[in-house]
Structure 1
Amino acid sequence: MTVAALQYLTGFGSEHETEALDGALPKGQFSPQRCPYGLYAEQFSTTAFTAPRAHNRRSWTYRLRPSVVMGGFTPWSQSNWLTAPLQGGHPSPEPMRWSPPPAPEQPLTFIEGVTTVAVNGDARSQCGLAIHLYQANRGMGDSAFYNADGELLLLPEQGELSLFTEFGRLQVAPGEIAVIPRGVKFKVDPVNGPLRGYLAENYGAPLTLPERGPVGANGFANERDFLYPVAWFEDRKAPHQLFCKFAGGFHSAPLSHSPFDVVAWTGNSAPYKYELSRFNVMGSVSFDHPDPSIFTVLTSPSDTAGWANLDFVIFPPRWMVAEHTFRPPWFHRNVMSEFMGLIKGQYDAKADGFLPGGMSLHNCMTPHGPDAAVHAQGSTTDLKPERYRDTLAFMLESRYLLEPTPHALNSTLRQQDYAQCWQGLESQFNGHR
Structure 2
Amino acid sequence: MTGSGHSIEQARKTAEALVYSSGFGNEHSSEAVAGALPHGRNSPQRAPLGLYAEQLSGSAFTEPRAHNHRSWLYRVRPSAAHPPFTRTDNGGLRSAPFTETVPDPNRLRWNPLPTPAPGTDFLSGLWTLGGNGDATQRTGMAIHLYHANSPMSSGVSSEGAEPSTRGRVFSDSDGELLIVPEHGGLLIRTEFGLLRAEPGEVALIPRGIRFRVDLLDGTARGYVCENYGAPFQLPDLGPIGANGLANARDFRAPVAAFEDVEGPVEVVNKFCGNLWSATYDHSPLDVVAWHGNHVPYVYDLHRFNVIGSLSYDHPDPSIFTVLTSPSDTPGLAGVDFVVFAPRWLVGEDTFRPPYFHRNVMSEYMGLIEGAYDAKAEGFVPGGGSLHNMMSAHGPDRETFDRASAAELKPQKIDDGLAFMFETRWPVTATEQAATAGHLQSDYDGVWQGLQRHFRP
For the residues of structure 1 that align with 2:390 and 2:98, how far apart are their CA atoms?
22
- Of residues 31-40 and 94-103 in structure 1, the stretch that sits farther from structure 2 once superposed is 94-103
Q: Name the residue aligned to 1:133.
A: 145
Counterpart selection for 1:364 from 389, 394, 401: 389
For the residues of structure 2 that align with 1:105 and 1:26, how far apart are their CA atoms?
47
1:304-329 Cα shifts (integer Å, max 9, x gaps): 11110000000011111111111111
Q: Tell me, which stretches of 5 or more residues in structure 2 are unaligned?
A: 1-12, 154-166
Correspondence 1:381-396 to 2 at 5 A:
381-396=406-421
Offset at residue 104 of structure 1 (A): 1.8
Aligned to 2:351, the other structure's residue is in SS state coil
For the residues of structure 1 that align with 2:148 and 2:437, how far apart are their CA atoms?
20
Correspondence 1:166-245 to 2 at 5 A:
166-245=191-270
Counterpart selection for 1:324 from 349, 357, 375: 349
Matched to 1:42, the amino acid is: E
Aligned to 1:235, the other structure's residue is in SS state coil
For the residues of structure 2 that align with 1:390 and 1:419, how far apart are their CA atoms?
25
Aligned to 1:238, the other structure's residue is in SS state strand
- Of residues 235-244 and 222-231 in structure 1, the stretch that sits farther from structure 2 once superposed is 235-244
1:336-385 Cα shifts (integer Å, max 9, x gaps): 00000000010000010000000000001011000111111111111111
Offset at residue 5 of structure 1 (A): 2.2
Q: Name the residue aligned to 1:107.
A: 119
Q: Name the residue aligned to 2:91.
A: 79
Offset at residue 119 of structure 1 (A): 1.0
Q: Name the residue aligned to 1:19.
A: 31
Matched to 1:175, the amino acid is: G
For the residues of structure 2 that align with 1:277 and 1:121, how far apart are their CA atoms?
31
1:382-417 Cα shifts (integer Å, max 9, x gaps): 111111112100000000110011111111111111
> CA 1:88 to 1:81, structure 2 compared with 1: closer, same or farther past 3 Å?
closer
Q: Tell me, which stretches of 5 or more residues in structure 1 are unaligned?
A: none
For the residues of structure 2 that align with 1:4 and 1:413, how far apart are their CA atoms?
35
For the residues of structure 2 that align with 1:56 and 1:105, how far apart are their CA atoms?
42
Q: Name the residue aligned to 1:92.
A: 104
Correspondence 1:417-428 to 2 at 5 A:
417-428=442-453
Matched to 1:313, the amino acid is: V
Offset at residue 259 of structure 1 (A): 0.9
Aligned to 2:313, the other structure's residue is in SS state coil
Offset at residue 125 of structure 1 (A): 0.8
Q: CA RMSD in A?
A: 0.9
1:349 maps onto 2:361 in alignment: no
Q: Name the residue aligned to 2:162.
A: none
For the residues of structure 1 that align with 2:258 and 2:399, how far apart are their CA atoms?
52
Matched to 2:131, the amino acid is: V
For the residues of structure 1 that align with 2:244 and 2:99, how far apart are their CA atoms?
42
Counterpart selection for 1:64 from 43, 57, 76: 76
Aligned to 2:432, the other structure's residue is in SS state helix
TM-score, length-normalised on structure 2? 0.93
1:160-183 Cα shifts (integer Å, max 9, x gaps): 010000000001100000000110
Offset at residue 23 of structure 1 (A): 1.2
- Of residues 172-181 and 88-97 in structure 1, the stretch that sits farther from structure 2 once superposed is 88-97
Offset at residue 6 of structure 1 (A): 1.0
For the residues of structure 2 that align with 1:274 and 1:301, how far apart are their CA atoms?
20
1:258-303 Cα shifts (integer Å, max 9, x gaps): 1111000000001111000111000111111110000000000011
Offset at residue 89 of structure 1 (A): 2.2
Counterpart selection for 1:309 from 334, 338, 347: 334
For the residues of structure 1 that align with 2:443 and 2:117, how far apart are their CA atoms?
28
Q: Name the residue aligned to 2:360.
A: 335
1:5-63 Cα shifts (integer Å, max 9, x gaps): 21100000000110011111111000000111010000001011011001101000000
For the residues of structure 2 that align with 1:427 and 1:144, how far apart are their CA atoms?
57
Correspondence 1:406-417 to 2 at 5 A:
406-417=431-442
Aligned to 2:421, the other structure's residue is in SS state strand
Please say if residues 98 and 130 of structure 2, whose CA atoms lie closer than 8 Å, have aligned partners that are also in contact: no
Offset at residue 88 of structure 1 (A): 4.4
Q: Name the residue aligned to 1:380.
A: 405
Matched to 1:164, the amino acid is: R
1:41 maps onto 2:66 in alignment: no
- Of residues 83-92 and 146-155 in structure 1, the stretch that sits farther from structure 2 once superposed is 83-92
Aligned to 1:24, the other structure's residue is in SS state coil
Q: Name the residue aligned to 1:162.
A: 187
Q: Name the residue aligned to 1:9.
A: 21
Please say if residues 204 and 297 of structure 2, whose CA atoms lie closer than 8 Å, have aligned partners that are also in contact: yes
1:55-108 Cα shifts (integer Å, max 9, x gaps): 101000000000011111111002310001123421011001111123224220
Question: Which ranges of 4 or more aligned residues in structure 1 deviate by more than 4 Å?
Answer: none
Q: Name the residue aligned to 2:157.
A: none
1:283 maps onto 2:321 in alignment: no
Matched to 2:394, the amino acid is: G
Offset at residue 111 of structure 1 (A): 0.5
Please say if residues 362 and 424 of structure 2, whose CA atoms lie closer than 8 Å, have aligned partners that are also in contact: yes
Matched to 1:87, the amino acid is: T
Aligned to 1:419, the other structure's residue is in SS state helix
Please say if residues 100 and 431 of structure 2, whose CA atoms lie closer than 8 Å, have aligned partners that are also in contact: no
Matched to 1:23, the amino acid is: G
Identity %: 55
For the residues of structure 1 that align with 2:16 and 2:118, how far apart are their CA atoms?
32
1:153 maps onto 2:165 in alignment: no
For the residues of structure 1 that align with 2:396 and 2:213, how far apart are their CA atoms?
38
